[in-house]
Structure 1
Amino acid sequence: MSIVHAQSPKHCAKQGLSINKVYRKLFYSFSTFLLSILSFIFLIWLILHPTKPEFSLKEADIYQLTLSDPHLLNSSIQITLLSKNPNKKVGVYYDVLQVYASYKGQQITVDTSIPPFYQGHEDSNLLTASLVGTGLPVAASFGYEVGRDQTAGKLVLNLKANGRLRWKVGTWVSGRYRFNVNCVAIMPFGPSIPSGPLSFKQGTQCSTMV
């Protein structure tokens, strides 16, 4: 005859409580671990959150801005930009950087690429670019707008840059981020201006968006 061991309802209840306690401890342990990891990541983000790079326009010279017919423009512009990384613990990889000139909302040169480079902590780099356009289509009002600016005695030009960058912290490198830069150059321009390039040498801070 076999002996059947039957557990009382009270014993089963105690066993169920002990199992629930084990699951509860595992849940609390996992929650505490996850919260610690998230807190650590948030703390690192607060400490190392990168400040966007700073750009300033140091110099711009317009050598050509002429219409070959009422709708086609030939242009030649030389610019010098200063790029600065303000971060003390974060480096910047500039993977893509393209520069062009704009006038009255119209692009007046083709995109010019600047070779990729790395910028260390709190480093600065001078960037030069020759911006040209040959037979670029422009609005019919372009010649009128230039003539009106010549009468007013000043020409307002936008020098723009866009591209992709990556942040570097120690050996860790982030994914790519888009960035846009806009610099405004106001140049003396009028009938009494001597022949030669229109020049901007005052230096101005540019706006940067990442």
Structure 2
Amino acid sequence: MFAAAASPPPPSTASTRNFRHPPPSRDLDLLLLLIGAALAALSAAVIYIVLQYRSPIYTVTEFAARGMNLTSPAPISPQFDVTVGVLNPNRKIGIHYLKESFVKVYCGGEILGLGVLPHFYQPGESATSVRATAGSFAVLLDGAVKTELSSAQRCGRVPLVLTVEAPVKFKWFVNTREFTAKAKCDVVLDELSDKAQIVSQRCDTDLHFPA
């Protein structure tokens, strides 16, 4: 009489537990990151080398100040109405200035006003003027800053700093990815009033490529 054959052992699941494939999301994220970096580098090369990109030229043409009472110990609520001329010197490159563009006004490293710039498109080889209002509420000026401003106003030379930070896209045949354009303008006014005149101004620009 033959003995009954032994039943085969149940299949082991240990191997499936020990050799699971890692989720593909990490590899996909890394691939997308590398592709993004390559596209950024390619965009930079096309803009600078092929199209011979030149930075826009900014000029502060109007700068009115309100609410700058330097004799009162109470907090102030300054407001600055500024007009900036923008020249795009590039023949083949248009510039889209996107939303979330900001302008700030400083004195002695202390911020006096913050405002939003309008979004617009500027064709190549064109000039336009952009107006913005930068303000703050209940600012308590540092004593040293207040003294500096009072002394400068008596001399008719009040130094202020205007900064612009704007996300932009460049247009050639197609739109590029987004970059960040920055400008810093050193402005000297004859007084802090709504009738202030610009004594001197100088703007420097910079273009930041995404990481």
Common fold, TM-score beyond 0.5?
A: yes
1:188 to 183, 187, 190: 190
Q: Counterpart in 2 of 1:64?
A: 67
- Structure 1 CA distance, aligned partners of 2:129 and 2:48? 30
**What is the CA deviation profile of residues 109-141 of structure 1, one whole-angstrom value per residue up to 9, with x for unaligned ones?**
1x2112211111112111111222220243232
- Structure 1 CA distance, aligned partners of 2:129 and 2:154? 34
1:101 to 105, 111, 114: 105
**What is the CA deviation profile of residues 151-207 of structure 1, one whole-angstrom value per residue up to 9, with x for unaligned ones?**
43321111211121111111x2211111211122212249xxxxx535124674411
**Deviation beyond 6 Å, 4+ runs, structure 1:** 41-44
1:200 to 172, 182, 197: 197
Where in structure 1 are there 5+ consecutive unaligned residues?
1-40, 191-195
Q: TM-score, normalised by structure 2?
A: 0.67
Where in structure 2 are there 5+ consecutive unaligned residues?
1-43
% identity of equivalent residues: 18
**1:106-185 residue pairs with structure 2 within 5 A?**
106-109=110-113, 111-170=114-173, 172-185=174-187
Task: Classify 1:159/1:43 alpha carbon distance in 2 versus 1 (closer, same or farther; 3 Å).
Answer: closer
Partner letter of residue 181 of structure 2?
F
Partner letter of residue 116 of structure 2?
S
- Structure 2 CA distance, aligned partners of 1:88 and 1:70? 52
The structure where strand makes up a greater share of residues is: 1
Q: Aligned with 2:69: secondary structure?
A: strand
Please, what is the CA RMSD of the aligned residues?
2.7
**What is the CA deviation profile of residues 53-96 of structure 1, one whole-angstrom value per residue up to 9, with x for unaligned ones?**
11111111112212696473321221110011110001111114
- Structure 1 CA distance, aligned partners of 2:71 and 2:138? 7
Compare CA radii of gyration and give the structure with the larger one. Answer: 1
Count matched residues: 163
